[in-house]
Amino acid sequence: MLSRVADTIYWMNRYIERAENYARFMDVNFNLSLEMPPNVSEQWRPLVVTTGDLKLYESLYEKVDKRKVIYFLGFDLNNPNSIYNCIVNARENARAIRPEITKEVWEQVNFLYYLVKEGMEKNLWKSKDPRNFFTEVKKGCQLLYGIFDATISRTDGWHFGKIGQLIERADKTSRVLDVKYHILLTAPEAVGSPLDLIQWAALLKSVSAYDMYRKKHGKLSSTSIADFLILDKVFPRSILRCLIHAEQSLLTITGTAGGHTNSAERQLGMLRSQLEYADINEIFGVGLHEYLDNFQQNLNIVSTSVFDTFFSIENAIKSN
């Protein structure tokens, strides 16, 4: 497979996953705000902090408020990571590799494009409650995942797409957890309170993890919730499961039976093994925020290694 095509499939899937997760981020805050007592103010700054876009936001807007944050994360053309821009970029990537994908995949990507285009034209960020729009974005992305899995042959292209999706998902799951950390910064006395548990429950619901968590752990606790979202081996949005399956796709592409043959395999294998043998109590001992921040840095190294190994022009020339 040409490195250009592999890179395009990889990023198409990353953009779709990023758009879905940003829609989930909106749900995190909306759900938390609805569960809050009347005297507790809504918090929107943590949402921008955890996406890593605070510096850009502050360069565009003087203050943080609900409407501006919704516009910035959902529709802002100046934010390369906004839902609108992610879907537009995914569509352009899909157009570039049209012969590599099916008619059904292309039609669903187009559906998502016109969905966010309509949202932009209707100024939905001004709506009192735009959650229906974000729900439709999530459903549209999830349907695309299903179509992709049901209609694309398990070639290298499919595996590059899964690697992109899973790396993005692992990163965003870690950032959703960080939303809770930043909210607690303003109210450390609330730790362990009923309000604290309400916030954790809302966070689980926002990543579609509530039912599976209650089935496994029952009682809500911050330690068990963090353990479920970081270290669970069977829940599809847990960080560890994402890394396990991303590594399986990577090894399928390279045909490696054991060990590693390139930087991408080495970096991903190291990070996966670190989580596989991690203990949640040790993670909390280090500090959940500090652990997640370090994880995000290491995941960026994995992403860079994937690019250097498979997509860079220099390596493509060497392989020829």
| Domain spans of the chain, in order of start | 3-319
Which tokens belong to 67?
């409407």
The closest of 226, 202, 210 to 292, measured between CA atoms, is: 226
Q: CA 270, 271, 272, 274 torsion: positive or negative?
A: positive
Beta-carbon-side half-sphere exposure of residue 208 (alpha carbons within 13 Å) = 11
pLDDT given for residue 318 in this prediction: 44
Query: What is the Cα–Cα distance from 198 to 220, expressed in whole angstroms?
Result: 9
**Tens place of pLDDT per residue across the chain (320 aa):** 678 899 999 999 999 999 999 998 887 777 677 666 655 556 788 788 878 898 999 999 999 888 899 999 999 999 999 999 999 999 999 999 999 999 999 999 999 999 999 999 999 888 888 888 999 999 999 999 999 999 999 999 999 999 999 999 999 999 888 877 666 555 555 566 777 777 788 788 878 899 999 999 999 988 999 999 999 999 999 999 999 999 999 999 999 877 788 999 999 999 999 999 999 999 999 888 899 999 999 999 999 999 999 988 655 444 43
Q: Which amino acid is at 14?
A: R
Say how far residue 209 (Cα) sits from the centre of its chain.
Answer: 14
Are 14 and 167 in contact by the 8 Å Cβ rule? The answer is yes
Query: What is the Cα–Cα distance from 166 to 173, expressed in whole angstroms?
Result: 10
Are 165 and 17 in contact by the 8 Å Cβ rule? The answer is yes
Whole-model pTM? Answer: 0.91
pLDDT given for residue 316 in this prediction: 44
Neighbours of 301 (CB within 10 A): 14
Helix (H, G, I), strand (E, B) or coil at 193: coil
Packing angle of the helix pair 131-151, 103-121 (nearest 10 deg): 170
Query: What is the Cα–Cα distance from 274 to 272, expressed in whole angstroms?
Result: 5
Q: Which amino acid is at 24?
A: R
User: Tokens 């994880």 label which residue?
Assistant: 295
Helix (H, G, I), strand (E, B) or coil at 160: helix
Are 205 and 249 in contact by the 8 Å Cβ rule? The answer is no
The closest of 109, 78, 86, 101 to 11, measured between CA atoms, is: 86
Helix, strand, coil shares of the chain, percent, nearest 5, are 80, 0, 20
Query: What is the Cα–Cα distance from 79 to 59, expressed in whole angstroms?
Result: 11
pLDDT given for residue 180 in this prediction: 74
For residue 35, the surrounding DSSP H or E stretch is helix 3-35
Query: What is the Cα–Cα distance from 121 to 19, expressed in whole angstroms?
Result: 18
b/e per residue, 162-193, with b = 16+ CB within 10 A? bbbbbbbbbbbbbbbbbbbbbbbeeeeeeeee
pLDDT given for residue 99 in this prediction: 92
SS3 assignment for 38-67: CCCCCCCHHHHHHHCCHHHHHHHCCCCCHH
